[in-house]
Structure formats: structure tokens, C-alpha cells
Amino acid sequence: MSQDEFQQQLKVAYENERDLVTKQCGDGAKFDSVNNATKTFYQRLDDTIKGASMHVSEGVDCRQGCSYCCYFRVDVSANEVFTLADYVQSTFDKNDLDNLLQKATDNKKKISMLSQAKRVVTNIACPLLDEEGSCTVYEARPSMCRKIHSTDVQACKASYDTPEEANIKNAEHPVLSAITMTMLTAARDGFSAKGMDPEVYDLNEVLIDALEDGKYKKRWLNGKKAFPS
């Protein structure tokens, strides 16, 4: 396929995805519709990744229990963090929830003491990562966690071992990366076309608010910026 044909396919995929998300999230004011739109988008994203991975000549090196990428900043949109919070509230017991809140509080404190520049070169374990290196919210993990993949686990390890090193190769497959990034952008544009908060947040900074205080969800469903600070 020529580069022009590939770009044309990306354009069509973008428009289809954006329109589907816009249609599925209803008027954007009801959590159930937006939650369902988020979850069905995740399903399409997973299916696309699975299908496209079969055609990637360098195999994808990601394996269960490998968690180097769970120490970097995770960007989330508001719909993703509220879908995640809903999943946690309906599946975690009190003990797990308390542990999660403690880890999230520690992370938030750590991050507040770092500059933006220092933050991107500091490994901080995601509060949703368990001791065995598995994601405790795998079914509801954000799109960025679904999108990230690697064709070379050694590059991930190098990035984890030396996060301040800027010259480590990007081990994502360029075609898979372009397809998934197109889908992520289309979904965000689809939600935003319904007047929903288009902001991208650091998961560590907004998770506690999404879990503990209903006022943020209310703000978001009223078309405001979900997390003003």
C-alpha cells in the first residue's frame, strides 16, 4: 500500500471512529451512555490492535506480567477516568480500595514536588499496578495503556532503567502506532464534539478526585472542565 493510500485509510478510520463515538455518547449528559461509549470504543481499539498486530513483521514483545510502561505518566481523558472509577467502585472491596487510595495519595504527593521536566524522567509505579506486575483494572484500563506496545522489550527495560536518557529508540511499530493514535484522537474529538471536556489529565493527579468526590463527575456531565485545578 502506498503512503497516500495509507493516509487515506487513516482519514476514513478517523471519521468513522469520531462519528461512532459522537453517536454513542448521546447528549453527553448521562453517565451510562458516555460510559458505554467509552467501553465500546475500548473494544474496537482492542480488536484493531489484535488484528493489526498479526500483520506486524517485528512481533509485539508485550507479555503478561511485563510492566515497564506502568511507571510512566498515563494520559487520560475525563470519560476514561470516570469509567475507571466506576469499575473500581463496583469491583474493589474496602481493603483494596483503601490500598489504592493510599498509593494514589503517595503518588500525588510525590508528583507535586516535581517539576514537569523532572516528572517525565521519574519512574512512578501506577497505583493500579499490583505486586505481581499485573494491572488491577485491566478490563477498564485507559486507552493509552491499550495503545502502548513494544516490538523490543529491551528498549522498554532501558527506558525504565535510565528514564532520563533521551536517545532510547521508540520501539512502537510505526504503522500500529499511527492506527491506534488515529483512533485515540478520533474518540477524544468525538466526545468533545458533544461538548465534553477535551482536556487530557495525568491519571495520578485526578484518580482520587474521580473516586472520592461526586462533584467532579457532576461538573463533567454538565459540560465543564472536570478537574479545574
Where do contacts with ligand SF4 occur on this chain (CB under 6 A)? 70, 74, 126, 128-129, 135, 137, 141, 145
Of 19 and 61, CB closest to ligand SF4: 61
The minimum distance between CB 190 and ligand SF4, in angstroms, equals: 22
Of 20 and 148, CB closest to ligand SF4: 148
Set of cell numbers at residue 96: 483494596
- Largest Cα–Cα separation, the chain: 54
The minimum distance between CB 209 and ligand SF4, in angstroms, equals: 17
Of 179, 189, 184, the closest CA to residue 48 belongs to 179
The minimum distance between CB 74 and ligand SF4, in angstroms, equals: 5
Query: What length does the chain have?
Result: 229
Of 69, 75, 114, the closest CA to residue 206 belongs to 75
Of 10 and 80, CB closest to ligand SF4: 80
Three-state SS at 172: coil
Set of cell numbers at residue 113: 514536588
The minimum distance between CB 144 and ligand SF4, in angstroms, equals: 7
Could you tell me if 204 and 74 are in contact, meaning their C-beta atoms sit under 8 angstroms apart?
A: yes
The minimum distance between CB 203 and ligand SF4, in angstroms, equals: 7
Q: How far apart are the C-alpha atoms of 47 and 219, rounded to whole Å?
A: 32
Of 34 and 70, CB closest to ligand SF4: 70
Of 111 and 129, CB closest to ligand SF4: 129
